[in-house]
Structure 1
Amino acid sequence: MTSWSHGYVADSPYTMAYQPSQVPGNLALICAMMGVDWQPTARMTILDIGCGRGYTVNTLAAANPGWTVIGLDYNPAHVAEAAALAERAQLENAIFTEMDLAEITDAEIDRLPEIDVVTIHGVWTWVSDAVRQGIVRLMARRLKPGGIAYLGYNCLPGFGPDMGLQRLFRHLAAQQVMGSSPQRVQAAIPAIRALHASRPANLPATGMLKRIAEGEEMMNTAYLAHEFLTEHWRPVFFEDLMRDLAPAKLDYVGSASLQDNIPDLIFSPEQREIFEGMPLEPAREFMKDLVLARPFRRDVFVRGLRRTDPLEALDRSVIAAVRPLGENPPKLAVQVGAAELDPEIWGPIAAALNEGPQSLGRLRSLPVGRHPNAAELLTILQDCNLIAPALRDSGPTEETRRFNRMVAEGYAEEGRLGGQYALASPVIAAGLTCSWLELAISVQPEIAEGRVPDGPEFVQRLLPGLAEDKLEEAAATMVRIATERAPIWRRFGIV
């Protein structure tokens, strides 16, 4: 750790990661579902606290020239990289600021503009009380009345079983006096695997531990370092978070995982009876956290709750398919089993979405004689990753084209190793999630011209140095991606 980092990892950049759950279009769907009156506007100011390397901020700025998108981070290396990408992509509406929220004064906070949307992904779990207090003071002073806040954080009791693993990582990494934080994590993994194999009583075989100790592929050590080596790593109960947020006057809206808002998809009949007998939040959210296997919560709050009719709000919502939809209805795994649509309901809905963006109200009216529940229909489509909210009708812009090309070219080496990428889309006012290879293919001239690329030449251009025995398979994969995805990229104003 460095002396200025307040116990947080600062000697290694975080992973390149686009976070789709925190974008305004998705937040609007959650508000509609929960009967809260909020929609994005043509001109807004978005603030991402703990923006890391700034990928989500820059993607939103590229897709929305009318928005001002601000990224705050305490790490000057993150801020410098994010600002450099914004400059290369000529994104004048992306602003990055190095800021220490543990020491920020009210006067410094008041120099920020008023904020429409604040997003905080992961940060809360990893920082000191002083930083948390700074976050709350900032929201209390700058988040507009009626503004939205998104917080993603490690929660209890779901992350509780991994608390021993976190402490084990810190002890083992501390034994390595040389090397960066990711290198010290790498050195700790053999001991963790050996200990896991011995089945110690108080090191439970959680999903995280199994991925680290049993997975065929090594997890990203930079991610593990940022997740586990911070001095202040503390998962929290929902009710404790609500207590800490009280000075900012935030009201709870709902979960960014839509199925977690529908009791019928969570509880058995016996559990539902207990749930219904509880007072409202935070008790009911605690009941959900006891039942659901979720170590991470994605919560949405509003500063000044205004109610609206949820059915009317949902029916006005416009969505678009992110992939071709087939004849077989999607099936969503939920706590009580599975949620799915009958084939006679799914058929006309899938056909309409394959034609282009549709309002949820029109989709619900298509099945003859049967109108599916709006919240459950949206939840199945959204949580199965079949749709994205469509905020405007637009073709590609110079900003989105330039930004997507800059990311594809600038992060080629890192992209081949993984990461969470997205194509800036003016239609969804955000990013369309993708792999780095999909991103790289989308910006090639053949795609813009509507041509099918030459497979072998495509491979040599995008994956130089690939082993000869893998060339044929790679060429077929890249041609398939180009053929299948190009119509979707056109639909979303990307090409």
Structure 2
Amino acid sequence: MTSWAHGYVADSPYTFAYQAAQAPGNLALICAMMGVDWQPTARMNVADIGCGRGYTVNTLAAANPGWTVLGLDYNPAHIAEAAALAEKARIDNATFVEADLAEMTDAEIDQIPELDVVSLHGVWTWVSDPVRAGIVRLLARRLKPGGLCYVGYNALPGFGGDMALQRLFRHLTALQPLGSSPEKARAVIPTIRALHASKPANLLPTGMLKRIAEDETELDASYLAHEFLTAHWRPVFFEDLCADLAPAKLDYVGSAGFHENVPDLIFSPEQRAIYETLPMGPAREFMKDLVLQRPFRRDVFVRGLRRTDPAVALDRLVLGACKTLPEKSPSIGVPVGSAELGPDLWEPIAAALREAPQSLGRLRSLTPDRNPNAAELLTVLAGAGFVLPVLRDVGPSEATQRFNRAVAETYWREGRRGGQYAMASPVTAAGLACTWMELAVACQIGDSGPEWPDAETIATRILPDISGEALEAAKGMVEELLSERPAIWRRFGII
């Protein structure tokens, strides 16, 4: 680690990834579901604490010219990269600041504008107590009354099984005298695999350990280093997080995981009976944590809770299909089995969504004899990733097209290895999840006017270093994308 890192992994950048849960439009879905009165507006101040390489900040800024979006991060390399991308895409409403919240004075914090939304994705569990205290001071001083705070963190008891794995990583990498943090993490994977194969009693076969020890494709070493080698890494119970955030006067809204807010999809009858005896608040959330496979919680809080009728709030939500809708209902796995829609519900709903974005109220009205539950309908549609909120009825903007092109051009090497990419969309006021290949193809046809180049021309343009069988494979991928995706890209103002 570098000498100034104070226990953080700073000798390698974090993964370049768009975090959809942070998008204010998605947070509004959760608020409606939970009966909390909050909606994004045309002009807002949004902050991402621990913004990493700034992809989410830049995406939100490109999609929302009326917003001011602030990214704070401890690592100057992250800030430099994020600012360079904003400059390349000519995004003037994104600001990036190198900041150590443990050392920021109240006067420095007060230079930040009042904030409508603050996000902390993958921050709280990895930072020291002084940094946590600085975060709470910022929330108390700068988050507006009525503003939202999203916190994504490693949670107990769900992450308890991986605490031994984290300690094992630290012991083994300490034996590596040379190399960067990712190189050390990569070097110890064979030992972890051998130990896992021997089935030690207290190295539990968690999902994370299986991904490391059993999957043929290795996890990104930079991700593993940031996940496990930070000196301050500590998963927390939800109740303890709430206590730490109390000075900022935050109230819990709900989980950004849709089905985690629906008790009928979580508990068996016996578990539900116990759940109903518990008081609202941390006790019920702890009961959920005992039942759910939830090592990483994604919680939404509000500073000043205002209630609204969830039935009314849900029915006015407008949703657009962001993937090709299948003939049969999508299904999401839940503790009690699966959540899906029967054919009599799915077929008219899917047909309407294929035509145009629809309000949730209209989708429910298509089957009046069934009167589907709005929260469960939203859970299946949005929880399975087939719809996004539609906040505006607009076409492509120069800002989003410039930004998408800048990402496609800048990250063409990294993107070909995978990752969480997104196209900035003025319609959903956030990102439309995609692969790098999808992003590059959309930019090519968006720049070409009504007459698109053929698949081979596009493949050659975006991947100029390939030929032969690799080029033929890329051509096939482009042809498939051109046959399925343009209607969706138009729907969300990408092209």
Q: TM-score per shorter chain, which class?
A: over 0.9
Structure 1 residue 103 corresponds to structure 2 residue 98: no
CA distance in 1, matches of 2:363, 2:20: 24
Q: How does 1:357-372 map to 2 (within 5 A)?
A: 357-372=357-372
Counterpart of 2:466?
A: 466
8 Å Cα contact 2:125/2:236 also seen in 1: yes
Counterpart of 2:317?
A: 317
CA distance in 2, matches of 1:72, 1:355: 41
Deviation of 1:449 (Å): 2.7
Letter aligned with residue 174 of structure 1: A
- Match of 1:82, SS? helix
* 398-407 vs 1-10, which moves further: 1-10
CA distance in 2, matches of 1:478, 1:233: 42
Q: How does 1:237-316 map to 2 (within 5 A)?
A: 237-316=237-316
Q: Encode CA deviations 1:22-58: one digit per residue, 9 max, x unaligned.
A: 1100000000000000000110000000000000000
Counterpart of 2:89?
A: 89
Counterpart of 1:186?
A: 186
Letter aligned with residue 398 of structure 1: E
Q: How does 1:428-443 map to 2 (within 5 A)?
A: 428-443=428-443
Deviation of 1:381 (Å): 0.2
Letter aligned with residue 397 of structure 1: S
8 Å Cα contact 1:452/1:479 also seen in 2: no
Counterpart of 1:209?
A: 209
Q: How does 1:61-72 map to 2 (within 5 A)?
A: 61-72=61-72
CA distance in 2, matches of 1:58, 1:201: 45
Structure 1 residue 457 corresponds to structure 2 residue 448: no
Deviation of 1:371 (Å): 1.6
* 20-29 vs 441-450, which moves further: 441-450
Structure 1 residue 19 corresponds to structure 2 residue 19: yes
Counterpart of 1:330?
A: 330
CA distance in 2, matches of 1:284, 1:190: 41
Letter aligned with residue 357 of structure 2: P
CA distance in 2, matches of 1:234, 1:486: 44
CA distance in 2, matches of 1:349, 1:30: 21
- Match of 2:324, SS? coil
CA distance in 2, matches of 1:11, 1:471: 35
Counterpart of 2:4?
A: 4
Counterpart of 1:232?
A: 232
Q: Percent same amino acid among aligned pairs?
A: 69
- Match of 1:155, SS? strand
Deviation of 1:368 (Å): 4.4
Q: Encode CA deviations 1:278-314: one digit per residue, 9 max, x unaligned.
A: 0111000000000001100000000000000000000
Structure 1 residue 421 corresponds to structure 2 residue 421: yes
Letter aligned with residue 118 of structure 1: V
Q: Encode CA deviations 1:351-390: one digit per residue, 9 max, x unaligned.
A: 1111111110011001142221000000000111100000
The number of equivalent residue pairs is 495
Deviation of 1:417 (Å): 1.2
Counterpart of 2:162?
A: 162
Q: Encode CA deviations 1:81-111: one digit per residue, 9 max, x unaligned.
A: 0001101111110000000011111111111
- Match of 1:333, SS? strand
8 Å Cα contact 1:452/1:483 also seen in 2: no
TM-score after normalising by structure 1: 0.98
CA distance in 2, matches of 1:177, 1:324: 50
CA distance in 1, matches of 2:218, 2:447: 34
Letter aligned with residue 127 of structure 2: V
Deviation of 1:8 (Å): 0.8
Deviation of 1:457 (Å): 2.8
Letter aligned with residue 160 of structure 2: G
Counterpart of 2:36?
A: 36
CA distance in 2, matches of 1:416, 1:279: 49
8 Å Cα contact 1:452/1:482 also seen in 2: no
Deviation of 1:341 (Å): 1.2
Deviation of 1:465 (Å): 3.2
Counterpart of 2:172?
A: 172
* 75-84 vs 450-459, which moves further: 450-459
- Match of 1:327, SS? coil
Structure 1 residue 386 corresponds to structure 2 residue 386: yes
Deviation of 1:467 (Å): 5.5
Deviation of 1:202 (Å): 0.9
RMSD: 1.2
8 Å Cα contact 1:122/1:153 also seen in 2: yes
CA distance in 1, matches of 2:466, 2:220: 22
- Match of 2:147, SS? strand
Deviation of 1:418 (Å): 1.5
8 Å Cα contact 1:181/1:225 also seen in 2: yes
Deviation of 1:330 (Å): 1.9
8 Å Cα contact 1:71/1:95 also seen in 2: yes
CA distance in 2, matches of 1:445, 1:387: 23
Letter aligned with residue 162 of structure 1: D
CA distance in 2, matches of 1:171, 1:280: 41
CA distance in 1, matches of 2:34, 2:326: 29
- Match of 1:396, SS? coil
- Match of 2:345, SS? helix
8 Å Cα contact 1:447/1:482 also seen in 2: no
8 Å Cα contact 1:65/1:93 also seen in 2: yes
